[in-house]
Amino acid sequence: MNIIPKPSKCTKKEGSFSITENTIIQTSTMSLEMQKLLLPFVDKIYKLSHIKIPIKEYSEICTNVINIDFIQTGLGKEGYKLEISSSNITIKAEALNGVFYCIQTIFQLLPIEIFGEKFINKPLVLQCCEIIDNPCFIWRGMHLDVSRHFFNVKFIKKYIDYLAMHKMNIFHWHLTDDNGWRIEIKKYPKLTEIGAWRASRDGIGWRDCKPQQPGEKTIYGGYYTQQEIKKIVQYANDRFITIIPEIEMPGHTLEVLAAYPELGCTGGPYTVATGTYWPNKDIFCAGNEEVFVFLKNVLNEVLELFPGKYIHIGGDEVNKEEWKKCSKCLTRMQKENLQNVEELQSWFIKRIGKYLHSKNRKLIGWDEILEGGLAPNAAVMSWQGEKGGIQAAKIGHDVVMSPGTHCYFDHYQDDPETEPKAIGGYTTLKKVYSYEPIPKELTKRQAKHILGAQANVWTEWMETPEHIEYMIFPRITALAEVLWSTIDNKNWEDFKERLQKFLNVYRIIGINYHKSVFEEQ
Ligand code: ACM
Ligand code: ZN
């Protein structure tokens, strides 16, 4: 049974089930949501085999039926039981999430051509088996940076499809950074009129880009309209994926300052970054009340668009030199009795955290938000190794692991000599597969705060969708198994074998994947 991520329990049985002209789906709950969930499955079967499977409310026990039972399985909302006998398929789940994941498993049990677009000229036969399955972690995420390079709606949907087929459930959308603001905000049109566009430095290495020159046109960029974002959120929701939007603050904000220079300590002028300049010192002024009015207004529109609990506020890599020199920032520190600029950043984040909390949302930020004191209720995304995550879990805060050592998919996955230029690092498929999100130093109780993990895809060196695919495949497949499957079920040799077959799925879909070393053997 070649299923990725590996199910908790899977027992092969004698015989097989065939989907034929007489097969029907019977469900104990005929809601609109259920029909919406089943339609892509039914459509896919119809498109590829010309067999139309009707969906009916449960009426009687009969054969050649795919039964869907909503019952307590004890497996949680994402879990499912799947029984395939020669006469019937039975899906049992507590919620639609589980049914959805069960269908993803069924796709993998069907002839592999089901992942393609062409007519399947063979019977739709499934091996008889019994599967009991549920995920280990509730946060199974992939991040994507659309600021360094912009990627259109069509690709974002494809990216969401890739997550869904791997039973991942979080898409962390890095929408704002120094190189471009990517989300329409009605109240601040200049964010997209100015902030979404930068001077082009085509063919020049990311670190060698000189800033925009006087009189130079800003021609590279783009953004998503609110209408587009609503559709993408719905698209993700239909695939049981929550989108976590990231609005960076107080640093990585040069593109905002280019549009609204009055929000920076010096007042500018600023231009949207064409590459990465270091140190990154043009940040929001923490002493200026206008900044907080701006951020609340921006967040209000963000909250309207993204219904998920978590809002990511960035918080990473803030160079605070300007704060030390700015009279407004110094006055703020005095008034709030803050001893240093780390405490000023902490005060800034806490203020935003309080606002999000008042809107019944939760703040999540990169592990630098621990510096100067963590905001109440804030969750931490641990990227500088695991230490930030460990520290946060120990004091009772939720954590998402994303250490550079194992989870940065912008890193090289093979010998840099033979690879396209990447940001650095060396994170092989095997290394990703070896990752265990729960650090050994945590007690059982503290470990409950580790919600899961995610891979980060920073796009400084990735300009095209094909290049992103190359960097995430097949590492995403390893991460999916790290997050879904139990430790007892993880086995590198077994995974490699299943992956070799799964690569055919990539080929049929047309994914530009990294041809891993073992494939050529
Ligand atoms: C990060 O990689 N700067 C979070
Ligand atoms: Zn200031």
**pLDDT tens-digit series, residues 433-442:** 999 999 999 9
Question: What pLDDT was estimated at residue 171?
Answer: 99
Query: Which of 29-38, 57-66, 168-177, 412-421 shows the lowest mean pLDDT across its residues?
Result: 57-66
> Taking 80 as the threshold, does the pLDDT of residue 128 lie above it?
yes
CA separation for the pair 12, 30 (Å, rounded): 30
Question: What pLDDT was estimated at residue 520?
Answer: 47
CB-side neighbour CA atoms (13 Å) of 332: 24
Question: What pLDDT was estimated at residue 58?
Answer: 84
CA separation for the pair 427, 413 (Å, rounded): 5
3-state secondary structure at position 88: strand
DSSP summary character for residue 224: B
Taking the centre of ligand 2 as the mean of its atom positions, its distance from the CA of residue 281, in whole angstroms, is 11
Contact 240, 97 (CB under 8 A): yes
Residue 397: active-site member: no
Query: Which of 9-18, 52-61, 148-157, 241-250 shows the lowest mean pLDDT across its residues?
Result: 52-61
CA separation for the pair 47, 49 (Å, rounded): 6
To the nearest 10 degrees (0 to 180), the angle between helices 475-484 and 465-472 is 50
Question: What pLDDT was estimated at residue 278?
Answer: 85
Could you tell me whether strands 65-70 and 24-27 are parallel, antiparallel, or unpaired per DSSP bridges?
parallel
CA separation for the pair 371, 392 (Å, rounded): 11
CA separation for the pair 73, 310 (Å, rounded): 28
* pLDDT, mean over the chain: 96
What does the longest C-alpha to C-alpha distance in the chain come to?
Answer: 78
Both tokens assigned to 354: 């309080």
Taking the centre of ligand 2 as the mean of its atom positions, its distance from the CA of residue 303, in whole angstroms, is 27
Taking the centre of ligand 2 as the mean of its atom positions, its distance from the CA of residue 230, in whole angstroms, is 35
List the catalytic residue out of 145, 177, 248, 322: 177
Helices and strands, counts by H and E, the chain: 17, 19
CA separation for the pair 447, 284 (Å, rounded): 35
Question: What pLDDT was estimated at residue 29?
Answer: 86
Nearest one of 76, 74, 71 to 138, comparing CA atoms: 76
Q: How far is CA 356 from the centre of its chain?
A: 21
Question: What pLDDT was estimated at residue 518?
Answer: 64
Which amino acid would we find at residue 434?
S
| H/E element, 90 | strand 88-93
Taking the centre of ligand 2 as the mean of its atom positions, its distance from the CA of residue 174, in whole angstroms, is 25
CA separation for the pair 439, 449 (Å, rounded): 11
Q: Would you place residue 507 in the very low, low, confident or very high pLDDT band (cuts 50, 70, 90)?
A: very high
Question: Residue 368: nearest ligand to its CA?
Answer: 1
Nearest one of 22, 14, 27 to 67, comparing CA atoms: 27
Handedness of CA 184, 188, 194, 198 (dihedral sign): negative
**In this structure, what are the phi and psi dihedrals at residue 319, rounded to the nearest 5 degrees?**
-85, 120
Q: How far is CA 40 from the centre of its chain?
A: 22
Taking the centre of ligand 1 as the mean of its atom positions, its distance from the CA of residue 51, in whole angstroms, is 48
CA separation for the pair 58, 27 (Å, rounded): 5
Question: Residue 251: nearest ligand to its CA?
Answer: 1
CA separation for the pair 106, 39 (Å, rounded): 14
Taking the centre of ligand 2 as the mean of its atom positions, its distance from the CA of residue 335, in whole angstroms, is 14
3-state secondary structure at position 501: helix
Contact 85, 13 (CB under 8 A): yes
Could you tell me whether strands 139-145 and 450-455 are parallel, antiparallel, or unpaired per DSSP bridges?
parallel
Contact 181, 196 (CB under 8 A): yes
Q: Would you place residue 214 in the very low, low, confident or very high pLDDT band (cuts 50, 70, 90)?
A: very high
Count CB atoms within 10 A of the CB of residue 380. Answer: 28
CA separation for the pair 480, 166 (Å, rounded): 6
CA separation for the pair 235, 159 (Å, rounded): 11
Choose one of 179, 319, 366 to mutate for the ligand 1 pocket test, by most ligand atoms within 8 angstroms of C-beta. Answer: 366
Percent residues over pLDDT 70 in the chain: 99
Question: What pLDDT was estimated at residue 280?
Answer: 84
Residue 177: active-site member: yes
List the catalytic residue out of 149, 166, 252, 406: 252
CA separation for the pair 107, 508 (Å, rounded): 13
Question: Residue 328: nearest ligand to its CA?
Answer: 2
Question: Yes or no: is domain 9-133 CATH 3.30.379.10?
Answer: yes
Q: Write down the domain spans for the chain.
A: 9-133, 139-509
Both tokens assigned to 300: 């209000």
Residue 317: active-site member: yes
Residue closest via CA to ligand 1's atom 3 equals: 316
Ligand 1 nearest-atom number relative to CA 381: 4
Q: Would you place residue 1 in the very low, low, confident or very high pLDDT band (cuts 50, 70, 90)?
A: confident
Ligand 1 nearest-atom number relative to CA 456: 2
CA separation for the pair 281, 299 (Å, rounded): 23
Question: What pLDDT was estimated at residue 102?
Answer: 98
Question: What pLDDT was estimated at residue 521?
Answer: 37
Both tokens assigned to 412: 């090289």
List the catalytic residue out of 316, 317, 342, 419: 317
Taking the centre of ligand 2 as the mean of its atom positions, its distance from the CA of residue 374, in whole angstroms, is 21
List residues near ligand 1 (CB under 6 A).
316-317, 366, 383
Contact 3, 103 (CB under 8 A): no
Question: Residue 262: nearest ligand to its CA?
Answer: 2
User: Could you give the C-alpha distances from 469 to 147, 156, 361, 375, 479, in angstroms and in order?
Assistant: 17, 12, 32, 36, 15
Ligand 1 nearest-atom number relative to CA 408: 2
Taking the centre of ligand 2 as the mean of its atom positions, its distance from the CA of residue 366, in whole angstroms, is 22
Taking the centre of ligand 2 as the mean of its atom positions, its distance from the CA of residue 388, in whole angstroms, is 27
Choose one of 143, 383, 457 to mutate for the ligand 1 pocket test, by most ligand atoms within 8 angstroms of C-beta. Answer: 383
CA separation for the pair 5, 106 (Å, rounded): 13
Question: Residue 252: nearest ligand to its CA?
Answer: 1
Q: Tens of pLDDT along 462-496?
A: 999 999 999 999 999 999 999 999 999 999 999 99
Question: What pLDDT was estimated at residue 279?
Answer: 87
Q: Tens of pLDDT along 376-417?
A: 999 999 999 999 999 999 999 999 999 999 999 999 999 999
DSSP string over 352-381: HHHHHHHTT-EEEEEGGGGTT-PPTT-EEE
Nearest one of 132, 163, 98, 131 to 1, comparing CA atoms: 131
User: In angstroms, what is the C-alpha Rg of the chain?
Assistant: 24
Residue closest via CA to ligand 1's atom 2 equals: 383
Contact 245, 175 (CB under 8 A): yes
- Cis bond leading into 123, ω under 30°? no
**In this structure, what are the phi and psi dihedrals at residue 297, rounded to the nearest 5 degrees?**
-65, -40
Q: Tens of pLDDT along 229-259?
A: 999 999 999 999 999 999 999 999 999 999 9
CATH of domain 139-509: 3.20.20.80
Ligand 1 nearest-atom number relative to CA 404: 2
Q: Beta partners for 12? A: 129
Q: Tens of pLDDT along 299-342?
A: 999 999 999 999 999 999 999 999 999 999 999 999 999 999 99
